[in-house]
């Protein structure tokens, strides 16, 4: 059996460091917003070459608080994609703003700049660009659009830890970068966690207040905030993971290279030539996706679909008024995409077995 994902091999690889970090926190007696969080924030900011990282409770909170720090609220519109985890849209809605869903580029599966441009109205206040699967969106075009229309641009980097665009780390190009540390991410915690990075002192100060009930010091509240604090245990784990992030991402690229060289009979993903992908997911396309998924499962190979139902076709979001056919590239992706096994601990031989099984099933 080749499972779609396994988390334990990565823990086993880093167990000595992680166990020591967890014990250090347990022995410290300080479990929320303490020295581990402060150290992680410094290290994560430095990794990106920025001044500030603000740890929060989840990746969803990271997007919401970034938007709120940027002044987005009720009556505003925020452009993003329907081909994403629902969390992206939920974060926008949590600010009181309305999500406006635009179509994707059919090659990168990320926000199409032309579609984003067409979606702008007098109420548009921000764009949330999702760097999906570990690859970059067309940031030159999106940044140019945001600057020309005076829009906040938030990078959703939940699947793109350490990825590069023209030599610069994703999350550093827009106004703020929002990260998730959900356990399955390239840099995952042992629970929920998130962070926002920025070079703007004023935005960083707002974010720190927003995550802690709007207070700058205990029981003194300058604004309405929320409870979105990164805990010390997660920060300690993340500090260990961050120190190994680049080498772990390279292993993911090595597995992706095996797929790229050996897969036949399906549409393989295309990485931007000006970027460095980190392959959070390796996503193929096949017109008979559901049958391929079933056939692989029968051969002991696990796969998943990210994502089978676009946000605009979810029952929860029918009130957005976008019916079937409104976002054609998004809807084609939902019908055809399939994520193959890719995780630390997947052997070269197992990656080759996946390729062989697909080639046999496709008769090539």
Give the residue extent of every domain in the chain.
Answer: 8-102+109-239, 245-361
Residue 18, pLDDT score: 99
**pLDDT beyond 90 at 277:** yes
- Cα–Cα distances (Å) from 228 to 32, 40, 71, 242, 258, in that order, read 11, 16, 18, 21, 40
In the structure, what pLDDT confidence band is assigned to residue 134 with cuts at 50, 70 and 90? very high
What distance in Å separates the CA atoms of residue 126 and residue 70, rounded to the nearest whole number?
Answer: 9
| Residue 23: Cβ-neighbour burial (10 angstroms; 0-12, 13-18, 19+) | exposed
Q: Give the lowest-confidence range in 59-68, 140-149, 214-223, 285-294.
A: 214-223
Residue 52, pLDDT score: 99
**pLDDT beyond 80 at 364:** no
pLDDT in tens, 299-351: 999 999 999 999 999 999 999 999 999 999 999 999 999 999 999 999 999 99
Query: With contact defined as beta carbons under 8 Å apart, do 358 and 264 qualify?
Result: yes
Residue 304, pLDDT score: 99
Residue 4, pLDDT score: 99
Which of helix, strand or coil describes residue 339? strand
In the structure, what pLDDT confidence band is assigned to residue 363 with cuts at 50, 70 and 90? confident
**pLDDT beyond 90 at 283:** yes
pTM: 0.98
- Cα–Cα distances (Å) from 265 to 8, 152, 288, 336, 341, in that order, read 32, 41, 11, 13, 17
Q: Sign (positive/negative) of CA torsion 359, 360, 363, 364?
A: positive
Which one, of 263, 333, 325, lies nearest residue 305 by Cα? Answer: 333
Residue 2, pLDDT score: 99
The share of the chain scoring above pLDDT 70, in percent, equals 100
What distance in Å separates the CA atoms of residue 290 and residue 361, rounded to the nearest whole number?
Answer: 13
Q: b/e for 170-207, b at 16 or more Cβ within 10 A?
A: bbbbbbbbbbbbbbebbbbbbebbbbbbbebeebbebb
Residue 262, pLDDT score: 98
pLDDT in tens, 247-267: 999 999 999 999 999 999 999
Residue 208, pLDDT score: 98
**pLDDT beyond 80 at 105:** yes
In the chain, which ranges are continuous DSSP H helix?
8-28, 35-48, 59-69, 86-94, 113-119, 139-148, 201-210, 232-262, 289-298, 328-336, 348-361
DSSP secondary structure letter of residue 82: S
Query: With contact defined as beta carbons under 8 Å apart, do 94 and 108 qualify?
Result: no
Q: Which CATH architecture has domain 8-102+109-239?
A: 3-Layer(aba) Sandwich (3.40)
**What's the mean pLDDT in 164-183?**
99
**What's the mean pLDDT in 151-162?**
99
Ramachandran region, residue 214 (left: φ > 0; alpha: ψ -120 to 50; beta: rest)? left
**What's the mean pLDDT in 110-134?**
99
**Using a CB cutoff of 8 Å and minimum separation of 24, what contacts does 31-35 make?**
31/231, 31/232, 31/233, 32/229, 32/231, 32/232, 33/212, 33/229, 33/230, 33/232, 34/232, 35/232
Residue 174, pLDDT score: 98
**What's the mean pLDDT in 275-298?**
99
Q: Which CATH architecture has domain 245-361?
A: Alpha-Beta Complex (3.90)
What distance in Å separates the CA atoms of residue 284 and residue 301, rounded to the nearest whole number?
Answer: 15
**What's the mean pLDDT in 149-178?**
99
């Amino acid at each position: 059996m080749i499972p779609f994902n396994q988390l334990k091999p990565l823990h086993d690889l880093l167990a000595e460091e992680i166990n020591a970090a967890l014990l250090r926190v347990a022995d410290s007696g300080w479990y929320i917003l303490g020295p581990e969080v402060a150290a992680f924030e410094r290290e994560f900011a430095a990794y990106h070459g920025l001044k500030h990282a603000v740890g929060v409770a989840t990746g969803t909170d990271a997007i919401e608080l970034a938007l709120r720090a940027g002044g987005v609220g009720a009556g505003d519109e925020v452009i993003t994609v329907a081909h994403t985890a629902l969390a992206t849209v939920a974060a926008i809605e949590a600010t009181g703003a309305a999500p406006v869903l635009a179509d994707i580029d059919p090659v990168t599966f990320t926000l199409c700049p032309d579609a984003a441009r067409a979606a702008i109205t007098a109420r548009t206040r921000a764009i949330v660009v999702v760097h999906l699967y570990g690859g970059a969106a067309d940031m030159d075009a999106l940044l140019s659009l945001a600057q020309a229309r005076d829009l906040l641009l938030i990078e959703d980097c939940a699947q793109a830890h350490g990825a590069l665009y023209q030599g610069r780390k994703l999350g550093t190009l827009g106004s703020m970068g929002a990260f998730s540390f959900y356990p399955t991410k390239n840099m995952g915690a042992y629970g929920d966690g998130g962070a926002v990075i920025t070079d703007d002192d004023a935005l960083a100060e707002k974010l720190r207040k927003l995550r802690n009930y709007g207070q700058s010091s205990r029981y003194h509240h300058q604004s309405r905030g929320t409870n979105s604090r990164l805990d010390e245990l997660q920060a300690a784990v993340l500090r260990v993971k961050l120190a190994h992030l680049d080498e772990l991402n390279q292993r993911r690229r090595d597995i992706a290279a095996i797929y790229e060289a050996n897969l036949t009979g399906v549409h393989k993903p295309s990485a931007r030539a000006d970027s460095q992908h980190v392959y959070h997911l390796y996503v193929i396309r096949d017109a008979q996706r559901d049958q391929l998924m079933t056939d692989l499962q029968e051969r002991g190979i696990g796969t998943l679909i990210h994502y089978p139902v676009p946000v605009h076709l979810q029952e929860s979001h029918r009130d957005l008024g976008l019916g079937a056919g409104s976002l054609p590239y998004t809807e084609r992706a939902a019908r055809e995409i399939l994520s193959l096994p890719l995780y630390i601990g997947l052997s070269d031989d197992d990656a080759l077995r996946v390729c062989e099984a697909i080639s046999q099933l496709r008769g090539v």
